[in-house]
Copies of this chain bind each other. A is one copy, B any other.
Amino acid sequence: MTIAEQMKQIAIDARRASRRMADLSSSVKNQLLINMAAALENEAATLQRENARDLEAGRAKGLSAAMLDRLELDDKRIRGMADGLREVAALPDPVGEITGMWRRPNNLQVGRMRIPLGVIGIIFESRPNVTADAAALCLKSGNAVILRGGSEALHSNSAIGAILQRQLTELGLPAAAVQVVTTSDRAAVTELLKLEEQIDLIIPRGGEGLIRFVSEHSRIPVIKHYKGVCHVFVDAGADMEMAEKIAVNAKAQRPGVCNAMETLLVHREIAAEFVPRVVAALAAAGVEVRGCPQVRDLAPEVKAATEEDWDAEYLDLILAMRVVDDLEAAVDHINTHGSLHTEAIVTRDYANAQRFLRLVNSSTVVVNASTRFADGGELGLGAEIGISTTKLHSFGPMGLEDLTTRKFIVLGEGQIRS
Contact = CB atoms under 8 A, between A and B. Distances in A.
Interface of A: 19, 22-23, 96, 102, 104, 108, 110, 113, 115-118, 200-201, 215-216, 219, 221, 223, 239, 242, 245-246, 249-250, 253-254, 335, 353, 357-359, 361-370, 372-374, 378-380, 390-393, 395-397, 405-418
A368 B414 contact: yes
Q: A410, A414, A415 — which one has the most chain B CB atoms within 10 A of its CB?
A: A410
Main secondary structure, interface of A, reads mixed
Nearest to A418: B253
17 contacts: A104-B379, A108-B369, A115-B361, A117-B391, A117-B392, A221-B221, A221-B392, A245-B414, A250-B416, A253-B416, A253-B418, A364-B410, A366-B410, A370-B415, A373-B412, A392-B393, A396-B407
Contacts of A116: 361
Contact of A410 (B113, B219, B369, B413): B369
A223 B221 CA distance: 10
Contacts of A367: 409-412
A204 to B, nearest CB: 14
A239 B414 CA distance: 9
Contacts of A390: 200, 221
Contacts of A363: 407-408
Contacts of A409: 357, 364-367
Nearest to A355: B23
Contacts of A216: 219
Query: Top 5 A-B pairs ranked by shortest CB distance?
Result: A369-B412, A249-B416, A221-B392, A393-B393, A372-B417
A130 B397 CA distance: 35
A85 B412 CA distance: 31
Given A117-B392, A245-B414, A369-B413, 14 more contacts: A200-B391, A200-B392, A221-B392, A223-B392, A253-B417, A364-B408, A365-B410, A367-B412, A368-B413, A369-B410, A370-B415, A370-B417, A373-B412, A395-B407
A379 B254 CA distance: 48
A339 to B, nearest CB: 11
Given A379-B104, A391-B118, A249 B365 contact: no
Contact of A379 (B215, B392, B397, B408): B408
A19 B335 contact: yes
Contacts of A366: 409-410, 412
A119 B250 CA distance: 31
Contacts of A359: 23
A408 to B, nearest CB: 4
A163 B407 CA distance: 38
A49 to B, nearest CB: 38
Given A363-B408, A407-B361, A246 B414 contact: yes
Contacts of A406: 395-396
A392 B405 contact: yes
B22 A392 contact: no
A111 to B, nearest CB: 10
B407 A242 contact: no
A144 to B, nearest CB: 13
Contacts of A335: 19
Contacts of A246: 414, 416
A410 B380 CA distance: 11
A67 to B, nearest CB: 27
A365 B111 CA distance: 10
Contacts of A104: 378-380
Q: A201, A361, A393 — which one has the most chain B CB atoms within 10 A of its CB?
A: A361
Contacts of A250: 416
A392 B405 CA distance: 7
